[in-house]
Each structure stands twice: as structure tokens, then as C-alpha cells.
A and B are shown apart, each in its own frame.
Chain A
């Protein structure tokens, strides 16, 4: 799937995607989307949300890694992607630290 980068190659060539790999990723992502919708009709109960978000995350990772070329491993790109996730994580945790422990009238 990953073409080896040789120093002699023109720099535009080493990262040309192979169509087969791209189609494979396509089929997996599309399959997961279909699975997501079908699973919702089966009634997963409490598991529904984690399963749905888990599937979406797998799809997102595939898109980012293959289609957005994170597999090329540019450190700054990886770092910025991870830091955006880190700060979203902080955002969630600290807002929920208030919301989930706040005193509310039970209704």
C-alpha cells in the first residue's frame, strides 16, 4: 500500500496513492456507514451511542490516515491533529465536570 520513497524519485511521485488502496478504504468506510444505520434499527439499547461513535471514529481515522495522508507521517501534521483532539477532550471534560455534578431539580 505504501510506496517506498527513494531519494532519486521526483518529490511529487513518492506519495501517489494507489487506486486499489483508495477503493479498499472507500468500501470499508461505506460499509461501516451502512452498518451504523442498520445497527441502529436493531435496538442496541444503552450500547447504541458508544457503538455509533465508535464506528464514526473508526471511519474518521481511516479517512484521516489514508485519504488525508496522515500516513506520510509529517510530525507537525500529526501533532496538530492530536492537539486539536486534546483540546476538544479538555473542552468536554471540563464542561462536563460542571454539568454532570451540578445540582438540578430532578424532573
Chain B
């Protein structure tokens, strides 16, 4: 360990760099523990309602845009890889590679948010939003269905959610088997927007941290001794990635069990 860098890197209240790095890493890990518990509240609530309302969750889930979720999963996993490579560059003291890897991570993460925005945009255009939008769109679809009654076979398989829901529930009362409660579909949508929204905010924070790292690296403030700064941000980034790996199947693949069973 070269002693000459320490003056700049070592903070006054630590005895040595080893202690400082360990403290920083541990601090981030403890923060990640709080993040896990933060999301666990959502996951527990999701579990309760999915257990109660499996049909509605499957229905709503199968009307989300799966390809965007797939692309986004790929983007996030790749960004985690580049983040790991950024730590390596920092450890080796390769400043240019560090900046390159950080920027790659940033671009991939921003791409995630871009696709996410596209997805929200499409959902909102389809009025697939709990509350007033949902109710009016469904009422409209029910009217259309009633109007076109008798004019059979005008729909394919991949359809607008409201038409699907109206068709499914036509002639059924809420106690009948196979009835899909519009309220509970909205409940799923609440989870969808809240979970992806909070996850998106975490991505946004992560992107900010990465930009800050780029700036620090460009200013030469991340020497080899101080690589733990990169590592600490990477821990956060990986956790956000990891949470997405659970969100993706829970939100987008919840219909998987019922598809083959036929509906």
C-alpha cells in the first residue's frame, strides 16, 4: 500500500484505509438491508392479494407488455456486469476503463428507464390505469360489446384489456365462476404502478450516483486506494437489479399458470 495517497483519501476519524473501506462497505450493506425490508412490505402485500385474487392477477398481468419487461431485464443484467467491470478497473487503477464502464452502466440504466417510460406511455394510452380512467374505459367497452351483440367473431386473441374484460364478464354476476372483478384488476394495477415506480426511482438514484462517480473519476479523485467508493455504489446497483429480477416474474409472468389451463 503506497502511503503517499493516504492523506487525500483517508478521513480523519479513521485509523487506516482498511478500516475506512470496511466501514463504507458495511454501511452500504446495512442500507441494503433496509432496502430489502422496504420492498418486502410490497412483496408481502402482493402475496396476500395474489393469494386471494389469482384470476384477476393473472388477467391483468397478461395484459402488460412482456417484451419491454424482457428487454429491460436484459439491460439491467448487462448494466450490472459493466458495473462489476468498473470496480475491476478501479482496483487496477485504470481510470479510462473505469469511466468507460461507468458510462456504459449509465447508458444501460438510462435505456431501462427509457423503455419503462415507453411502457407507461402505452399503458396510459390504453387507459390501463386504476381509477377513473379504468372505469370509464371499461364502461365504454361494455357498451360497445352490448352494441355489437350478435355480430360474432370480430376479435382476435391479442386484444385491448377492456374489451377482454367486458367479454369475459358478459352475462356473469360476480358470484359466478370465471368472473373477473374489475376492482381487483385495478388492485393489481396499483401494485404494478407502485412497484415499478418505486423501483424506477431507485434506478434514477443509482444513475445519479453513477454520474457522480464519473465526475469523481474524471477529476482523478478515485485512485486505486479508494476503489471502495465504486464498490459501494455497485452494491446498491446490484441490489436494485436483484429486486427487478423478482419484480419481473411477479408482475409480468403472473398469468403463466392460467394460460395453458385456458380461459
Contacts and interface: CB of A to CB of B under 8 A. Distances in A.
Contacts of B224: 12
Contacts of A17: 84, 87-88
A11 B227 CA distance: 11
A84 to B, nearest CB: 4
Contact of A107 (B29, B43, B175, B238): B175
Contacts of B88: 16-17, 19, 22
A63 B30 contact: no
Contacts of B87: 17
B33 A48 contact: no
Contacts of A2: none
A43 B261 CA distance: 8
Given A17-B87, A44-B256, A84 B33 contact: yes
B70 A99 contact: no
Contacts of A48: 253, 256-257
Given A22-B85, A100-B51, A16 B242 contact: no
Contacts of A69: 231
Contacts of B1: 10-12
Contacts of B78: 26, 30
Contacts of B33: 80-81, 83-84
A23 to B, nearest CB: 7
Grouping DSSP codes into helix (H, G, I), strand (E, B) and loop, the A interface class, with mixed when no group exceeds half, is: helix
Given A69-B231, A83-B33, A88-B37, A22 B84 contact: yes
A56 B242 CA distance: 8
Contacts of A85: 36
A36 B33 CA distance: 26
A37 B250 CA distance: 11
A7 to B, nearest CB: 12
Interface in B34-82: 36-37, 40-41, 43-44, 47-48, 51-52, 66, 69-70, 73-74, 77-78, 80-81
Interface residues of B, number: 60
Grouping DSSP codes into helix (H, G, I), strand (E, B) and loop, the B interface class, with mixed when no group exceeds half, is: helix
Contacts of B257: 43-49
A68 interface: yes
Nearest to B228: A12
B47 A96 contact: yes
Contacts of B37: 84, 87-88, 91
Interface in B99-125: none
Given A17-B88, A30-B74, A48-B253, A59 B261 contact: no
17 contacts: A11-B17, A13-B91, A15-B91, A33-B248, A44-B256, A45-B261, A52-B256, A60-B245, A67-B234, A74-B22, A74-B25, A77-B29, A84-B37, A85-B36, A88-B40, A92-B47, A107-B175
